[in-house]
């Protein structure tokens, strides 16, 4: 997130809250607010670099609808009886969406986010939020079931604008037409039924200082998962109807059950198999057997006694973990059992759906935004030492031993971890990243290793997978590994040695195949000497070590990185920079870059936002960079041209620039360069 901790009084709250918005987002908020003021007053054209086209279009719609941009909206609110009718009409949509809303909420719980579900008219159906008085007393008071959030009553917002556009959208701060919501940020996605009809959507809403670049992706992934489940439930209903009424022809029946992405077995009232799809035949090694009409107990055998006891209870259940043994070994599944009942309630059979744990892990990983996107070819650099580091990382990627990435903050440790994963044999497996310093000490063990049902008060039914289980068959990236408490280090050491985990509160040993890439900006050996880090764990993680170069040691890459970031933000901001002032590069070469590449990237983004021409000029350089110099950079007003020229040549020589490149940068011949070097005593 873009929030740093400091104590402040939020204007929308009755209590003191803790935040300080990242300067980049703060600047974006101020610029957007200025454009909003201009629009409301009709004071000029709106800058498209600040206000995206779809946001401006939504402002225009609100103006045409006569929405008041200043006063608090007067929402349409349903009566109690009308609300009950609304909830009943959307019963299936709500029940199918609930697990995915809970899953989303689990990842944002405690961060002042609100997860909401709404129907096709913008009426709120369900809300999940922290038990926080500030949330209840302010804007979220109107975000309750039965309140309508369409653009006509509230301006552009989390529900109404998604319904108008029929596509995902993020609305940040003053991008809201109504001033009441300028302190909010929302990320919303629509949901369509199997016929392609828009039936509603879901949203993640928070105060604007809680903005997070991953929330829109999480909302989209959850919406897609809900749509997939709607399709599956429709197929199941059709299958049930065919099974109960015996009116569906075999060919149609077969096509319905084969469209389900999971293994499916239907049982009659005697527990005999009546329907089985090809996926189930394949997974349970039944390809060549005629199993219809045979009791499932005879096929599965006593070795699957836990599975049999579960399905013989005549109770419906969902997402229960079960291990199925076959002649080829065993596999773990998430099992759902639906009952087929007559109009009088008599159980006529059951439908069993076996979902691969791996597929569920992939969905969860997608929802939390943990995906390795970067490849080695995407990493920019030409510094010889940096290229050697890259080559070392490429070699490391070809095996599955643990690796340790050491370096200052902002040097790209997370980027290298993704590239190593994508170049390895595990590239098709999951990639799960976790920041060990960002999780409370009392939660990190359950986050990493999961917990069993009943492990503690409020634990999820059926338990919950940890990050190591989600990463099974792939890579887990443990950033800020030095921040892990000593008691967790002992557990982590055992997991590495045994290649298995035991969930909190459980006893079952779960084998895992995970490659660990750990990273830290601390001197781990020094932490070992201080007693803050276990020596045995250090050596188990430190099979391979990569030392990430700080930007000050790869200064010849600065012009290249500047060019890359200018092109990147030129696309996102729709700006075309044709020239970069030499004074900009010269100033960058003199700066120490404590934040390394990440800081350089942020500086370029800021300068691009401020740029009003096709040139990046020295006056756009942030003052905090210029203020670190004892004098102004080369070519700036307070330094003589001779001194500036001498310092520039000396700096580039110190950074090992080839003399040919120095001459090219100064636009002089190499002969002239040698003469100047001799003149300044640099030869």
**Residue-range domains of the chain with CATH:** 7-213 (3.30.450.40), 232-362 (3.30.450.20), 370-549 (3.40.50.300), 552-679 (1.10.8.60)
Compute the distance between CA of residue 244 and CA of residue 239 in angstroms, rounded to an integer.
9
DSSP letters, 47-100, are: -TTTS-HHHHHHHHHHHHHT--SSSPP---B--HHHHHHHHHHTHHHHHHHHHH
Mean of the per-residue pLDDT values of the chain: 84
Q: How far apart are CA 360 and CA 322, in angstroms?
A: 14
Query: Is residue 580 predicted with pLDDT exceeding 60?
Result: yes
Q: Which is higher by pLDDT, 251 or 581?
A: 581
Q: Which residues of 409-422 are buried (b: 16+ CB within 10 A; e: fewer)?
A: ebbbbbbbbbbbbb
| Phi, psi (degrees; rounded to nearest 5) at 640 | -70, 150
Q: Taking a C-beta distance cutoff of 8 angstroms, is the pair 22, 208 a contact? A: no
pLDDT band at residue 361 using 50, 70 and 90 as cut-offs:
low
* CB atoms inside a 10 Å sphere around CB 574: 11
pLDDT surpassing 80 at residue 369? no
**In the numeric block, which tokens belong to residue 596?**
């390394």
Looking at residue 458, its pLDDT comes to 59
Residues 104 and 364 sit within 8 Å (Cβ to Cβ): no
Give the per-residue pLDDT at 637. 39
584: closest CA among 606, 26, 571?
606
DSSP designation for 316: -
The whole-angstrom separation of Cα 385 and Cα 655 is: 12
DSSP one-letter code for 148 = B
Residue 38 has a pLDDT of 93
Percent of the chain with pLDDT over 90: 45
User: Cα–Cα distance between 554 and 559 in angstroms, integer?
Assistant: 11
Arithmetic mean of pLDDT, 75-89: 95
Per-residue pLDDT for 5 more than 60? no
The DSSP annotation for 395-462 comes to HHHTS---EEEE--TTS-HHHHHHHHHHTSTTTTS-EEEEETTSS-HHHHHHHHH-B-TTSSTTPPTT
pLDDT tens, 92-118?
Answer: 999 999 999 998 888 888 778 899 999
Q: Which has the higher per-residue pLDDT, 633 or 668?
A: 668
Is pLDDT above 80 for 119?
yes
How does DSSP classify residue 504? Answer: B
Backbone angles phi, psi at 278, to 5 degrees: -65, -30
Given a contact cutoff of 8 angstroms between Cβ atoms, the answer to whether 435 and 445 are in contact is no
CA–CA gap between residue 545 and residue 524 (Å, rounded): 12
Q: Looking at residues 476-494, what average pLDDT do you find?
A: 93
Residue predicted with more confidence, 661 or 157: 157
Each residue of 252-261: pLDDT tens digit? 556 666 677 7
Average pLDDT of span 265-284: 87
The pLDDT of residue 9: 38
Residue with the larger pLDDT of the pair 332 and 455: 332
- Per-residue model confidence (pLDDT) at position 459: 57
Dist CA 524 CA 435 (whole Å): 17
| Lowest mean pLDDT segment, chosen from 55-64, 259-268, 314-323 | 314-323
**Per-residue confidence (pLDDT) for residue 290, from 0 to 100:** 77
Both tokens of 326, joined, read: 């076959």
Q: How confident is the model at residue 21 (pLDDT cuts 50, 70, 90)?
A: low
Q: What is the model's pLDDT at position 11?
A: 35
7 pLDDT more than 70: no
**Cα separation of 7 and 17, whole Å?**
7
Counted residue by residue, the chain has a size of 683
pLDDT digits (tens, 9 = 90+) for 202-249: 999 888 776 677 788 899 999 999 999 999 888 888 777 666 655 444
Average pLDDT of the residues in 502-514: 86
């Amino acid at each position: 997130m873009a929030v740093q901790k400091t104590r402040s009084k939020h204007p929308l709250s009755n209590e003191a809250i803790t935040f300080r918005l990242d300067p980049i987002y703060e600047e974006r908020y101020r610029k957007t607010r200025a454009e909003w003021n201009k629009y409301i007053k009709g004071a000029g054209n709106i800058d498209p670099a600040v206000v995206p086209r779809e946001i401006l279009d939504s402002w225009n719609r609100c103006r045409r609808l006569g929405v008041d941009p200043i006063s608090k909206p007067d929402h349409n609110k349903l009566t109690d009886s009308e609300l009950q009718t609304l909830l009943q009409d959307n019963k299936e949509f709500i029940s199918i969406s609930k697990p995915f809303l809970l899953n989303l909420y689990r990842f944002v719980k405690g961060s002042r986010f609100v997860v909401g579900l709404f129907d096709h008219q913008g009426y709120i159906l369900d809300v999940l939020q922290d038990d926080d008085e500030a949330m209840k007393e302010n804007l979220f008071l109107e975000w309750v079931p039965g309140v309508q959030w369409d653009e006509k009553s509230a301006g552009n917002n989390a529900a109404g604008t998604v319904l108008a556009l029929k596509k995902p959208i993020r609305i940040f701060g003053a991008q809201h037409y109504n001033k009441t919501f300028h302190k909010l940020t929302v990320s919303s996605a629509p949901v369509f039924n199997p016929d392609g009809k828009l039936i509603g959507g879901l949203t993640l809403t928070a105060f604007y200082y809680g903005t997070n670049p991953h929330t829109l992706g999480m909302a989209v992934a959850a919406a897609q998962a809900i749509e997939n489940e709607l399709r599956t439930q429709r197929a199941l209903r059709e299958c049930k109807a065919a099974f109960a009424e015996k009116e569906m022809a075999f060919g149609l029946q077969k096509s319905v059950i084969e469209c389900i992405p999971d293994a499916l077995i239907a049982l009659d009232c005697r527990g005999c198999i009546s329907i089985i799809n090809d996926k189930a035949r394949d997974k349970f090694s039944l390809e060549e057997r005629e199993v219809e009409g045979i009791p499932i107990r005879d096929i599965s055998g006593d070795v699957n006694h836990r599975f049999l006891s579960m399905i013989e209870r005549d109770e419906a259940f969902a997402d229960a973990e079960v291990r199925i043994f076959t002649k080829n070994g065993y596999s773990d599944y998430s099992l759902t059992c639906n009952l087929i009942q007559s109009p009088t309630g008599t159980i006529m059979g059951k439908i069993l759906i076996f979902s691969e744990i791996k597929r569920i892990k992939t969905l969860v990983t997608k929802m939390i935004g943990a995906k390795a996107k970067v490849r080695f070819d995407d990493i920019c650099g030409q510094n010889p030492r940096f290229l050697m580091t890259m080559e070392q990382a490429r070699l490391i990627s070809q095996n599955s031993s643990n690796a340790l990435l050491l370096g200052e903050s902002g040097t790209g440790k997370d980027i290298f971890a993704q590239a190593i994963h994508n170049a390895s044999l595990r590239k098709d497996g999951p990639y799960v990243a976790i920041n060990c310093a960002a999780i409370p000490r009392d939660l990190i063990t359950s986050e990493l290793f999961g917990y069993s049902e009943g492990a503690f008060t409020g634990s999820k039914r059926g338990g919950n997978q940890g990050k190591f289980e989600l990463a099974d068959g792939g890579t887990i990236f443990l950033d800020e590994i030095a921040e892990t408490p000593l008691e967790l280090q002992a557990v982590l050491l055992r997991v590495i040695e045994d290649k298995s985990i035991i969930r909190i509160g459980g006893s079952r040993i779960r084998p895992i195949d995970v490659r660990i890439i750990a990273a830290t900006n601390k001197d781990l050996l020094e932490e070992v000497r201080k007693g803050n880090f276990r020596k045995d764990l250090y050596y188990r993680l430190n099979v391979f070590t990569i030392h990430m170069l700080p930007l000050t040691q790869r200064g010849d890459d600065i012009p290249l990185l500047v060019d890359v970031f200018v092109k990147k933000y030129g696309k996102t901001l729709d700006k075309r920079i044709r020239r970069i002032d030499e004074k900009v590069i010269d100033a960058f070469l003199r700066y120490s870059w404590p934040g390394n590449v990440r800081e350089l990237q942020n500086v370029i983004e800021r300068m691009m936002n401020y740029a009003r021409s096709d040139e990046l000029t020295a006056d756009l350089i942030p003052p905090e960079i210029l203020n670190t110099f004892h004098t102004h950079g080369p070519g700036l007003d307070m330094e003589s041209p001779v001194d500036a020229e001498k310092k520039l040549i000396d700096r580039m020589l110190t950074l090992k620039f080839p003399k040919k490149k120095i001459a090219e940068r100064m636009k002089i011949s190499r002969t002239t360069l040698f003469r100047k070097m001799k003149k300044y005593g640099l030869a």
